[in-house]
Amino acid sequence: MRNRGEVLKISFSAFFADLGYQTAVVMFPLVFVIILGAPVWLYGVAEAVNYGLGSLIGFLGGLLGDVYGRKRIAVIGNAVITVVALLGFSRYWWEAWLIFLVGWWTRNLRTPPRRAMLSEVTEPGERSEAFGILHALDIAGAVLAITYTAVLLYLRFPIEYLLAVTAIPLVISTLILSMVNAGRARAGAGLGATGLRATHRFVWLIVLSTFFFGFSQYSFGFPVITTAEFTHEDYLAVVTYGMFLTASAVFGYVFGRLRINEYGGLAFLGYLLGSLASLGFALLAPLGVLGLYPMAFMLGMAVAATEVFEPTIISKLMPSESVGSGMGLLTFGRSVGVFLGNVIMGALYQLHYAYAYYFASASSLVAFTIVLAVIMRGSLTR
């Protein structure tokens, strides 16, 4: 890899970012529903707004990064994520929602330009490995975040100070990202209306498939809530997220290193496996951690596959000057699916938890079918 140092800077920036904000991600449903008493259906709406309307922020981040400089937009977005450190001081559900929303939206803003920076410093043949390293270190930070969160919750450490500590790794993350030698503004970059019309049809199919997978990649707060309901222990609920993240980190690196066809890996290891995991949550939740933890691990594997193969495919299909915009489209497609999925998940969960997971499983199966059609279409046109 010709620019391994730059790849590692971007990846370690992701590591420290997740070491901070993932604590807020796992604590938000507990603060919002368990501590502040908001109903689950309102949690579904909140996460729909966080993820769904945040999709526009992600798409905007990709466009702005291509035009004004990917590094500049990525650093600004990364810096503002730090507001999630205030989440523990919320006294009303709307305060918690607003704080998390600002942090999550700016996280979305910086993700497409950061991915485009990674494409910028690598050759096409290196990108699966590069995105695998990024995802592995990204999620390794999240695993450590969940570990210290679970331990401190078990020790009854005050939640407001637990969340306040997250500001430290978030500041470190921003400093590392600011040292990356990539992402400067270039004349004539960006994706205008003409570029959108000329975008490869397979890009739109991948965006469509990730839209449906967004239905199944619900906020992981739902499995956290399910685990809390069946075990009656908050720290065991947090460990569910840890299982998910551990699998995602390990297999993100493994999938990046293996010479797997990107389309086949996305279809079978990503979308199909995700469908089976959601089905497992519906059927095995009454077994408690014996049923929930393996499904969380399986879902982590599925998400690792999507995080490696989706951006790799997009980076190869988009022209170099518009990769950020392509990553923005990818974020947009996923987040719109997550927006609608969380609203539906919240409503179905209010009726019965299993209905929500059945819906997620079916949606992921649709995503699998779309990519399978892309594979067949590609083989027929060769």
> pLDDT for 217-240, tens place per residue?
556 778 888 998 999 887 888 888
Q: What is the pLDDT of residue 199?
A: 52
Percent of the chain scoring above 90 in pLDDT: 42
Residues 208, 370 contacting (CB under 8 angstroms): yes
Residue 147 has pLDDT above 60, yes or no: yes
Whole-prediction pTM value? 0.71
Residue 363 has pLDDT above 60, yes or no: yes
Nearest residue to 77 (alpha-carbon basis) of 49, 41, 105, 119: 105
Encoded tokens for 82 = 């730090």
Residues 170, 20 contacting (CB under 8 angstroms): yes
Task: Give the span between the Cα atoms of 27 and 45, in whole angstroms.
Answer: 17
Residue 193 has pLDDT above 80, yes or no: no
Cβ burial, residue 382 (10 Å; 0-12/13-18/19+): exposed
Residue 104 makes CB contacts below 8 A (sequence gap 6+) with: 50, 51, 54, 84
Cβ burial, residue 133 (10 Å; 0-12/13-18/19+): buried
Which DSSP letter does residue 121 get? T
For domain 4-177+199-381, give its CATH number from 3.40.50.620, 1.10.1520.10, 1.10.3720.10, 1.20.1250.20: 1.20.1250.20
Nearest residue to 138 (alpha-carbon basis) of 219, 43, 25, 228: 25
Q: What is the pLDDT of residue 380?
A: 45
Please give the average per-residue pLDDT across 317-332, as a whole number: 71
Q: Which one is predicted more confidently, 340 or 382? A: 340
Q: What is the pLDDT of residue 382?
A: 47
